[in-house]
């Protein structure tokens, strides 16, 4: 029998327990596909007494997680602790320094320290694998790093956070408020007690940062990413978007523009029947455009024990069979510092929601500001009549610069008739 591929597993939460389940249940299948057995030699987590629904008795328990980096006869360390700093980062660095392969689901770590870790892996002859870090069980990292390797990537669009997609879908289907649906998502386990990482777009932005690095051969640069979440979206936005033939999605966009790379995460309106428009509930989707391929859509559940653990084990199979690739598809020394496009210079059509007092001259004042900022109105809707009271006004525009739209919103907000901050969202005709 071939020598087993031995791993140390750090983290026994949802994903870590899922990795154990897969290896225990499908061990014989994994051996055939990897060409050798995959064995868990040691595990480590905070609480040894907790019942995780799996039998851990056959594995050595390592009290200090960091000691897995030096544990005897390991071929790889699996890190599913999470967090961009602290024990997870320390373990990954130490393991790579020791020349051990690392498999991780830690998108924050990769988005903030990916360049450093990729260089360390190359220097020590180790592999840094992270299929599980983006889109759960959807094999988008392998697809971009291998299946689309012959192409120059032009653009990447992604729905990369299942929590946000669930909230927006449920708001549309039920007519309920953002706050109400968020509470439901927390109760069902789709959102954390502190949901900020999800609803403010941070989680999805980490993932976009990783995809952009692979797609464009650049160093991950999370700090250069423009990020906006979905907190401000209300039922009025959902209803009018539907009426106009659109869905609202938290969309990650990375594309080449005039020799630069645009990298933004923001809610957008996309056509209902577009590849992104049809993706509902907790599903993720990634749309990639290359110069010699059509634009394939990769979709599936973006989180959960089964999908994420499945991706972790797929990386282990690759390593066990001797499949080696640089972390971001090319040698780390060849990753370039990107020249990022200024989001303010991008040109799009826009959806604009205003809440203004119903009185004479308001539309004229708003129109004058848009005119002065060279923004052309495509359509305007105001329904109902309530003199002197706040009413919604919905405006769609022809293509205009993002900076001009933001400047117009600032001026409109200063009008004494404006009772809420204006909200603008790009219309992406995918």
| Residues labelled catalytic | 207
Nearest CA to 262 out of 343, 344, 207 is that of 343
Phi, psi of 377, rounded to the nearest 5 degrees? -80, 130
With a CB cutoff of 8 Å and minimum separation 6, the contacts of 231 are: 178, 199, 200
Neighbours of 295 (CB within 10 A): 13
Strand partners, 391: 356
Q: What whole-number distance in Å separates Cα of residue 248 and Cα of residue 239?
A: 10
Distance CA 341, CA 402 (A): 12
Tell me, letter by letter, the H, E, C secondary structure of the chain.
Answer: CCCCEEEEEECCCHHHHHHHHHHHHCHHHHHHHHCCCEEEEEEECCCCCCCCCCCCCCCEECCCHHHHHHCCCCCEEEECCCCCCCHHHHHHHHHHHCCCEEEECCHHHHHHHHHHHHHHHHHHCCCEECHHHCCCCCCHHHHHHHHCCCCCEEEEEEECCHHHHHHHHHHHHHCCCHHHHHHHHHHCCCCCCCCHHHHCCHHHHHHHHHHHHHHHCECCCHHHCEECCCCCCCHHHHHHHHHCCEEEEEEEEEEEECCEEEEEEEEEEEECCCCCCCCCCCEEEEEEEECCCCCCEEEEECCCHHHHHHHHHHHHHHHHCCCCCCCCCCCHHHCECCCECCHHHCEEEEEEEEEEECCCCHHHHHHHHHHHCCCCEEEEECCCCCCCCEEEEEEEECCEEHHHHHHHHHHHHCCCCECCCCEEEEECCC
């Amino acid at each position: 029998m071939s020598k087993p591929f031995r791993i140390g597993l750090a983290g026994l939460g949802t994903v870590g327990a899922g990795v154990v389940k897969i290896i225990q249940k499908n061990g014989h299948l994994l051996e055939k596909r990897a060409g050798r057995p995959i064995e868990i030699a040691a595990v480590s987590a905070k609480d040894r007494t907790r019942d995780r629904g799996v039998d851990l008795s056959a594995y050595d328990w390592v009290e200090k997680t960091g000691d897995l980096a030096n544990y005897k006869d390991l071929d790889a360390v699996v890190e599913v602790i999470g967090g961009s700093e602290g024990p997870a980062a320390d373990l990954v660095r130490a393991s790579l320094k020791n020349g051990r392969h690392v498999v991780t689901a830690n998108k924050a770590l990769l988005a903030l320290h990916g360049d450093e870790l990729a260089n360390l892996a190359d220097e020590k002859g180790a592999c840094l694998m992270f299929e599980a870090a983006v889109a759960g069980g959807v094999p988008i990292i392998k697809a971009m790093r291998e299946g689309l390797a012959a192409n120059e990537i032009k653009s990447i669009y992604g729905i990369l956070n299942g929590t946000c997609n669930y909230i927006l879908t449920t708001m549309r289907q039920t007519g309920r408020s953002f706050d109400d649906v968020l509470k439901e998502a927390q109760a069902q386990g789709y959102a954390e007690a502190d949901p900020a990482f999800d609803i403010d777009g941070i989680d999805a932005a980490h993932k976009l940062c990783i995809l952009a690095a692979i797609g464009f051969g650049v160093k991950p640069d999370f700090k250069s990413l423009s990020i906006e979440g979905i907190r401000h979206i209300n039922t009025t936005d959902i209803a009018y978007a539907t009426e106009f033939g659109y869905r609202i999605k938290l969309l990650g966009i990375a594309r080449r523009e005039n020799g630069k790379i645009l990298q933004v995460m923001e809610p957008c309106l996309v056509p209902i029947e577009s590849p992104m428009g049809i993706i509902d509930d907790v599903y993720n989707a990634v749309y990639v455009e290359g110069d010699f391929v059509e634009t394939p859509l990769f979709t599936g559940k973006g989180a959960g024990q089964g999908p994420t653990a499945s991706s972790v084990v797929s990386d282990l199979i690759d390593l066990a069979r001797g499949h080696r690739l640089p972390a971001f598809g090319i040698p780390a020394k060849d990753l370039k510092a990107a020249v990022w496009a200024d989001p303010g210079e991008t040109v799009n059509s826009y959806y604009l929601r205003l809440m203004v007092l119903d009185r004479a001259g308001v539309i004229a004042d708003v129109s004058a500001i848009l005119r002065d900022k060279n923004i052309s109105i495509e359509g305007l809707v105001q329904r109902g009549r309530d003199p002197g009271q706040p009413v919604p006004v919905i405006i769609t525009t022809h293509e205009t610069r993002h900076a001009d739209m933001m400047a117009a919103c600032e001026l409109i907000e200063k009008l004494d008739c404006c009772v809420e901050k204006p909200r603008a969202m790009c219309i992406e005709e995918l």
